[in-house]
Structure 1
Amino acid sequence: MPLSCCGDIREVTYMGIRATAAVALGRAARWGGETFMHRSAGNIPGAMALKVDPMVLVDLAKKVNPVAVISGTNGKTTTTNLVADCLQTAGVPLYCNREGNNLQSGIVTSLMLAPDTSKVVDAASAAQAPVGCFECDEMYTKYVLPRLRPHYFMLLNLFRDQLDRFGEIDRIQATIAEALAKTPETTFVFNGDDPLCAAIADRIPNKSLAFGIASDMGLSADRISDSRFCQKCGGALEYDYVHYGQLGAYRCPDCGWARPELAFAATNVRLEEDGFVFDIDGRSVHTGHTGAYMVYNVLAAYAISKLSGIVSFENYQAAVREYHPTNGRLQTFDLGERKVMTNLAKNPTGFNQNIRIVLNERGRVLALFVNDNDADGHDVSWFWDIDFERWSQIEGLRAFVGGTRANDMQVRLKYAGIQAEIVENVADVLAATRVDDGKVYIIANYTALPAVRRELEGLEAAAKGEE
């Protein structure tokens, strides 16, 4: 049923004394952070509210029509922002944790603030209950889904990521399945090309809908894959084609388990001058990006847009076309004579997809900034699962490494046949290269990216004479 027709839009009618106190404390913490520390403090206000009332999200959820919660190893922030942009084309107020504060505390913080009304078109729209779209860490679904109770829960993919923090994928699968089982009214929308996601759909009572790429994109498969084994019987899966990692058209010759029917299927995927294009429901969608994983992100946004019942195809395509990342993910900075593209990568699959972007765009200047802080995970053995050898054939390649694990990354690149120079920051990379070397590609992991982004924002402002 389209969301616009739903009769259960959740308006705030009552909030208990404990929840009211929790929200007041959280808002005060937010004000203090912005006033005295000049930071938005995305998680801290929510964390403080949760200390006062661990169930405060239940009360806060009453004031929002929760369209979707989006999770997965890679692409959560980008897809959440795309979906949010699409929902806003309906001209209604919106709640969204756009900055990627994806723990329960971050979602609580976003709901304590006023909704975004920048795209509201009239008084009637402003009076409607706000819609909500939230990014959620996979392991926090067990808290968020039963309390927020969204219409749709979307799972983009599952890859091995920070094993020293989260453990193996089967633990994540069990957590998500348990969360969905406690929220039976939530529809599970998942990447059918990923057998690790499809296995969850087989374990839960929820209605499930799969999205995926229904035709071969003609890409060479990654050297490393997380799982190409049957989630039913453990046998080796056979693939008609593989897009990357374990994503593709699979089937088990032993027990017959196979990729599910795709409710949202991208076909005729092709790489054009301005990025990948695919067809769906008789229309063409331009992603505007050369990364293959953006096909999945844009397709996922299509699925939620269509399911919402409030986003037209024309508005969806306009939102995708106008999407310009500002959080360091696939963001391009204009420094006058130089252009720098940044992106996040925090596991082998993410790095391998960035490798493809650089190869597609014939890049020659690469900089990798990698830390091993708590949020990154301390185990960096996954460096050896990245297919850096594909970069070693780039003529005139200039490679740089930075961050707390720069030495480890330098050694990994050396074994791939790439000589990399250790640098402190982006300025060092720019000083060591020339304008005719072309665009600079900077790939950073979770805690390294914000510093890179801040430095580039300053350099861009200086280049525009704004400082």
Structure 2
Amino acid sequence: MSFRSNIATHVGRLSRWALTKFTGGGSSLPGKLALTIDPDILTTLGENYDVAIITGTNGKTLTTALSVYALNEAYPHVLTNPTGSNMHQGIVSTFLVAPRLEKNKKGIAVLEVDEGSLKHVVKHVKPKVFVHTNVFRDQMDRYGEIYTIYKLMADAAKEAPEATVISNADSPILNAIDLPNPRLYFGFEDQMDGNVVPHHNTDGILCPKCDHVLKYHTLTYANQGKFYCENCGFKRPELDFKVTSLDDLNITDSTFTINDFQFQIPVAGMYNIYNALAAYSLSRFFELTPEQIHDGFEKAERVFGRQEILEIEGKQVLINLVKNPVGLNQVIDLVGLDKNPSTFIAILNNQYADGTDVSWIWDGDFEKMSDFNIQSVYTAGMRKEDMTKRLDVAELFDGDIQELDSVEEVVQAMREAKTDSVHIFATYTAMLDLRKELIQAGYITK
């Protein structure tokens, strides 16, 4: 370690200690300080790790968490960034707080990495493997269209051509660019082939090779499925890892079969089964047995803000992060599984981490919520008026939508809900604000 790297490491670790002791937080600042002193500090910190990078629009956090639960069954030194701080400085902070490895020992670093930060991270660490979860329209003010997002992912993979890329084969765009890397593919094979037509408002259903409209033998959600192009022959690759049956789906968990072995995870929704399949694929790459992966998944807990369940004054509160149309529609479908009377609260912010453009809420299928057993509705956040307008246009709840002016009022609405079930949709910074208030109120202890 060079003198500069040594100073940067000590400053980063000291700042992390101070932030933890005196403020209880600070996942990015230590990395930012270390990078200021030594812009190449990540090269030094990551040199003794086999690095797995998990990236894509949706599902990074849960895929990372499930992968770590599984890998802990076989490896003693697994490092990750559990706070979701997935940009360059947050990745540096992750390595700064890692326990020191014994001499001549190697660890595994499973890193959730923001698509926009990939080039910075890959420049300094040599990944052993990438996992590409999916690409959907997301925060267009930051990334632009889906092809721009995938180019960031593909360019990063090309910078490490020896690294294996494990891709979601059901996503057409993830097969749009030929890569020099070894490839493995995961997807769904739980339905008989037929002829299926995606929803008319679906992005990414043009063939990325010739721009003709894709056809589908099967469809899971959005543009994902067993696709093919009648014009040029482009089609879904053969699967190395596949979901072969959906065994039990409900509001709290999911049971399914991958490559003839049954698994259960403590979250619901088709999209989360994709995340589990991605984690399974990465774990198999690192030579875990299905039994070890099963045992790891059995230990999994709900991830912060991803179907997190809290008990508040006798109410069951289910919190879901929402940030783009596809994820929003999947969460709406999830709420539809709850047949009990419920209260619905939508918190919409538009800070940088949320995406400053909130027009994506108009592509959410709120209209289908008219069939749900929802008794009362609230909106909150910096752009609560936009959310209220969206729900009004959907002609839901007879216009009886109450706007809340603060996160304190949101918590009060939870306490006073007339139903035993409360569903929260929150953008990223809204979720952080809500969590902070719930900690202060004593409803969350960590």
Output the TM-score relative to the length of structure 1: 0.88
Offset at 1:32?
2.6
> What is residue 18 of structure 1 aligned with on the other side?
4
- Cα deviation for residue 21 of structure 1 reads 1.8
Q: How does 1:338-417 map to 2 (within 5 A)?
A: 338-362=315-339, 364-417=342-395
1:94 aligns with one of 78, 91, 101? 78
Match of residue 176 from structure 1: 153
Q: Which residue of 2 aligns with 1:48?
A: 33
Match of 1:139, SS? helix
Task: Please identify, of 169-178 and 207-216, the stretch whose mean Cα deviation from structure 2 is larger.
Answer: 169-178
Structure 2 partner of 1:58: 43
Alignment-mate amino acid for residue 361 of structure 1: D
Secondary structure, aligned partner of 1:244: coil
1:444 aligns with 2:421: no
Distance 1:61 1:174 in 2: 25
Give the 3 Å change call, closer, same or farther, for CA 126–17 of structure 1 in structure 2.
closer
Give the aligned residue type for 1:145: V
Which of residues 106, 114, 125 is equivalent to 1:148? 125
Q: 1:422 aligns with which of 403, 409, 417?
A: 403
Show the counterpart of 2:190. Answer: 215
Structure 1 unmatched runs, 5+:
1-14, 118-124
Residues 76, 156 of structure 1: 8 Å contact kept: yes
Between Structure 1 and Structure 2, how many residues are aligned?
436
1:290–1:360 CA contact under 8 A, matched in 2: no
Shift of 1:280: 2.1
Counterpart of 2:12, as a letter, is G
Cα RMSD of the aligned pairs, angstroms, is 2.4
In 2, Cα distance between equivalents of 1:362 and 1:456: 26
Aligned amino acid, residue 50 of structure 1: L
Q: Deviations over 1:108-145 (max 9, x none)?
A: 1111113399xxxxxxx998422211000012111212
Is 1:455 matched up with 2:430?
A: no
In the alignment, residue 17 of structure 2 is paired with which amino acid? Answer: W
Amino acid aligned to 2:255:
V
Identity of aligned residues (%): 33
Offset of 1:154 from its aligned partner? Answer: 0.4
- Measured after TM superposition, the shift of residue 461 of structure 1 is 3.9
2:257 is aligned, of 273, 279, 283, to 279
The 5-angstrom pairing of residues 27-42 of structure 1 reads: 27-39=13-25, 41-42=26-27
Match of 2:144 in 1: 167
Moved more, 203-212 or 22-31: 22-31
The answer to which of 23-32 and 241-250 deviates more is: 23-32
Q: Between 404-413 and 167-176, report the one with greater CA deviation.
A: 167-176
SS at match of 1:289: coil
Change (3 A) 1:266 1:52: same
Deviation at 1:26, TM superposition (A): 1.4
**How many Å apart are 1:460 and its aligned residue?**
5.6
Query: Are 1:334 and 1:460, in contact at CA under 8 Å, matched by a contact in 2?
Result: no
Match of 2:179 in 1: 204
Q: CA distance change for structure 1 residues 325 and 339 in 2, over 3 Å: closer, same or farther?
A: same
Q: How far apart in 2 are the matches of 1:237 and 1:223?
A: 13
Q: SS of the residue aligned with 2:176?
A: helix
SS of the counterpart of 1:448?
Answer: helix
Tell me the CA shift for residue 73 of structure 1. Answer: 0.7
Point out where structure 2 has 5 or more consecutive residues left out of the alignment: none
User: Which of these residues, 151, 154, 162, is aligned with residue 185 of structure 1?
Assistant: 162
Counterpart residue type for residue 339 of structure 2? R
Q: Which amino acid aligns with 2:72?
A: Q
Alignment of 1:110-121 (within 5 A): 110-115=94-99
The separation in 2 between residues aligned to 1:126 and 1:338, in whole angstroms, is 51
C-alpha distance in 2 between matches for 1:131 and 1:446: 28
Q: By how many angstroms is 1:224 displaced?
A: 3.2
Q: For residue 120 of structure 1, what is the aligned residue in structure 2?
A: none
CA 1:376–1:76: 2 relative to 1, 3 Å = same
| 1:73 counterpart residue number | 57
How many angstroms apart in 2 are the aligned matches of 1:116 and 1:58?
16
Query: What SS does the aligned partner of 2:8 have?
Result: helix
